[in-house]
Amino acid sequence: MKYINLNGKISIIANAIVPVDNGAFRYGYGLYETLYIENNVIRFKEYHWERLFNGLKQLYFTIPSFMTAEWLEEEIRQLVRKNQAEKMCRVRLQMFAGAGGLYSADNNQPGYIIECLTLDNEMIKFNENGLVVGMATELKKSMDGLSNLKSCNALIYAMGARQAREHKWNDALLCNTNGNIIESILANIFWIKDKVIYTPPLADGCVAGVMRRHVLETINGIKEQSLTVDDLLHADEVFLTNAIKKIRWIGNMEDKYYENKEIKAIYNAI
């Protein structure tokens, strides 16, 4: 990626400057969406726009009349074309609070940054080698009105990523303050037991993932249920979902190994 869009201006990345007192830098005040584009088509864009605009309202942003889903889509397409990434890419759209004030910006309109990264088929195809995951320790996510948002305040995920790197895991699983597993640092989690598919409810504090929503709306009979460590260790199959990599099979956690017989069928179905 060579070019970036900062508040409507496309420039070389090194020339894009964000004030040091912007809300995302100081307080993690903002939201982001990670979108998958293939052949210039934004996958699940309606889900992304619904989540983004609902989140902006929840965070008390004033949304300008021109800042519609169609306008944002055109901003994204211009940057993707500039980076010559129309075939396949990952786009990160970040909305953030403006400068000034203590925790509260002087201007309630969001600023924005759009970035894109070229992808290839190897990055998104089904993983035939199962992921190795572990439980993040000393990290508990709260269950409140902000927990379902894709917030710029991502310290818990960054610390989980550190632990994954230290233990040579592919991903780390996070718990809520009740001790139930809710998601990984990168994705929502599903598990299968006796051919029944389960996933934690949003009330448990997981991010309201776009691919999570798509799987729930596509596959019949999925049950939303809290996930304990014991449930996970007795599951038959486990997988992760996100908007870019679709479905990722977890192969093992600790001494527990998981199959992927049902997961492949789900991957093909969505």
Q: Indicate whether 145 and 265 sit together in one domain.
A: yes
Residue 102 has pLDDT above 60, yes or no: no
What is the average per-residue pLDDT within 210-216?
Answer: 97
215 occurs within a structural domain:
yes
Same domain, 149 and 254: yes
Residue 228 pLDDT > 70, yes or no?
A: yes
* 55 and 78 together in one domain: yes
The answer to whether residue 126 sits within a structural domain is no
Q: Give the residue from 121, 145, 179 where a domain finishes.
A: 121
Cα Rg of the chain (Å, integer): 19
Do residues 35 and 45 lie in contact, with contact meaning Cβ atoms separated by under 8 Å?
A: yes
Q: How far is Cα 81 from Cα 23, in angstroms, rounded to an integer?
A: 29
Nearest in space to 133 (alpha carbons), one of 184, 182, 181, 175: 184
The per-residue pLDDT for 104 is 60
Closest CA to 55 of 148, 182, 156: 148
| Domain assignment present for 168 | yes
Q: Which residues pair with 251 in a beta bridge?
A: none
Domains identified in the chain, total number: 2
Q: 57 with 146, same domain? A: no
C-alpha distance across the termini of the chain, in Å: 29
The SS3 call for residue 66 is coil
pLDDT at 229: 96
Q: In the prediction, which pLDDT does 101 show? A: 59
98 and 145 part of one domain: no
On the question of pLDDT at 248 being above 70, the answer is yes
User: Would strands 131-141 and 9-12 be described as parallel, antiparallel, or unpaired?
Assistant: unpaired
Domain final residue pick, 100, 121, 142: 121
Q: Which residue has the higher pLDDT, 30 or 98?
A: 30
Half-sphere exposure in the Cβ direction for 266 (13 Å, CA): 31
The pLDDT of residue 105 is above 70: no
pLDDT at 60 over 70: yes
**Share above pLDDT 90 across residues of the chain, in percent, rounded to a whole number:** 86
Structure tokens at 158: 């960054």
pTM summary value: 0.94
Tell me the average pLDDT of the chain.
Answer: 94
Q: What is the largest CA-CA distance in the chain?
A: 55
Candidate ranges 16-30, 66-80, 96-110; pick with highest mean pLDDT? 66-80
pLDDT at 239: 98
Percent of the chain with pLDDT over 70: 97
Q: What is the mean pLDDT of residues 53-82?
A: 96
Task: Assess if residue 243 is contained within a domain.
Answer: yes
In a domain? residue 78: yes
Q: What pLDDT, on a 0 to 100 scale, did the predictor assign at position 108?
A: 86
Domain that holds residue 179: 131-269
Last residue of a domain, one of 86, 121, 156: 121
Residues 92 and 167 in one domain: no
